[in-house]
Amino acid sequence: MDFTKIKELDAKNYMNIFARNHVCFSHGEGCKLYDTYGNEYTDFFGGIATSCLGHNYPPLVNAIAEQAKKLIHISNLFYNEPQAKLGEALLSGTIFDRIFIGNSGAEANEAAIKLVRKYFYAAGKKKYKIVTALDSFHGRTLATLTATGQDKYSKPYAPLPQGFLHVPFNDFEALKTAINADDEIAAVMLECIQGESGVRPVDYEYLINAYALCKSKGLLLMLDEVQTGMGRTGKMFGFEHFGIQPDIITLAKGLGGGVPIGACLARNEIADAFKPGDHGTTFGGGPLACAAALVVVNELKNTDLLARVEKSGKYLSDRLMKLRKFKFVKDVRGMGLLQAIELSDKLKNAEVAGKMLSKGFIINAAGNNTLRFSPPYTITKAEIDAMAEALSELFAATNI
């Protein structure tokens, strides 16, 4: 089908919620994507930090194909082997004992929110409120968009679920004040890096202090690692950089290497609050998605991928730092292979991302006028160099 026809069908049939780029990809190989005209692109986007193993990665493709031939879906009313293996592989060596598997980041966070509420409910305590940060992003279901600290996502959908409070990110005094003022607070939910709103890492001291405060007050610390988990920062989970032990974490984006899957992980004492019937899912934990995620987990555990993320992340960061010589580059920041450039108001990120796309590099225009870089973990030095050169040329030619 030709591209004009594809666009025509999209415009005619689909709810108009995506500001799409005018490119239709047909296939990919490693960190390269190809459009329907045969043009090649280097992928610094990874399907929103998702395709962590790159495209057409043989072990992943083979596992999916082999599983599809055996079984695709059987529901959670029966056991399945890939699910059993994935739970063991994901939890072993971690501080967590129990896992729930859903299909997306929002669902993983919904499960986490319900678990927090059930935990305190079962304990007979009137604690149900969750404190989150301004500029956070936790998903688009009603509860998770309410948890999300950005009015633009929630305003039109009132009335919103109750029990969410927002405080400024990286401001410990504000967090402490909010917690001390309200006995109904049950948990604090944070991201190690606020990805969607512009790759803003949590301050080390802030997260350590938030953790200590939660401990001393008997509150739960939930970390939304949907974007920062599964090796994105150079460690399996982002929180490992901080030497803390969160009570609940959620995963999704990189977990399936592009196949939809999300997970909520917790320790026994908390997870035990969920009894049969308290939560559920039709598709979650199906053999196909679990077989895919099992490959991701095993590749991260058994190969040098995490070390590569750290090394390539450092290299990408160094290359981006050099662009600070342009006066409209306000900041360069990130961890591992989640990096960003913040631009001054004079230069629009979407415009830069659009021009880079036409030069064959996929980078993402994220919140607060940033360019987000979240390539597959297999990105090479040469690919980073080529992208940084192209971006530098583009900046040099920008007349402001």
Ligand X SMILES: *Cc1c(COP(=O)(O)O)cnc(C)c1O
Judged by the rule CB under 6 A, the positions of this chain that interact with ligand X are 104-106, 109, 137-139, 191, 195-196, 224, 226-227, 252-253
Q: By C-beta, is 137 or 164 nearer to ligand X?
A: 137
Using DSSP's 3-state secondary structure scheme, residue 35 falls into strand
Using DSSP's 3-state secondary structure scheme, residue 42 falls into strand
Written as six digits, the tokens of 217 are 């007050």
Smallest gap from residue 222 Cβ to ligand X (A):
11
Smallest gap from residue 1 Cβ to ligand X (A):
27
Distance CA 86, CA 101 (A): 10
Residues 210/203, Cβ–Cβ less than 8 Å: no
Cα 36 versus chain centre, distance: 28
Q: By C-beta, is 187 or 329 nearer to ligand X?
A: 187
Q: Is the peptide bond before 287 cis (omega within 30 degrees of 0)?
A: no
Phi (first) and psi of residue 172, to 5 degrees? -65, -40
Smallest gap from residue 288 Cβ to ligand X (A):
17
- Look at the block and give the residue holding tokens 């591992």: 336
Q: Which residues are catalytic?
A: 137, 224, 253
Q: Which residues pair with 332 in a beta bridge?
A: 341
Residues 255/296, Cβ–Cβ less than 8 Å: yes
Q: By C-beta, is 83 or 227 nearer to ligand X?
A: 227
Smallest gap from residue 38 Cβ to ligand X (A):
30
Smallest gap from residue 176 Cβ to ligand X (A):
24
Residue number with the shortest CB distance to ligand X? 105
Q: By C-beta, is 281 or 380 nearer to ligand X?
A: 281
Smallest gap from residue 125 Cβ to ligand X (A):
27
Using DSSP's 3-state secondary structure scheme, residue 132 falls into strand
Q: By C-beta, is 191 or 247 nearer to ligand X?
A: 191
Smallest gap from residue 140 Cβ to ligand X (A):
6
Nearest to 113 by CA among 124, 95, 127: 127
Using DSSP's 3-state secondary structure scheme, residue 61 falls into helix
Q: By C-beta, is 100 or 395 nearer to ligand X?
A: 100
Residues 48/364, Cβ–Cβ less than 8 Å: yes
Distance CA 321, CA 329 (A): 9
Distances from the Cα of 169 to the Cα of 251, 264, 373, 398, angstroms = 21, 23, 22, 33
Q: By C-beta, is 220 or 391 nearer to ligand X?
A: 220
Residues 214/248, Cβ–Cβ less than 8 Å: no
Return the number of other C-beta atoms located less than 10 Å from residue 107's C-beta. Answer: 25
Return the number of other C-beta atoms located less than 10 Å from residue 307's C-beta. Answer: 10
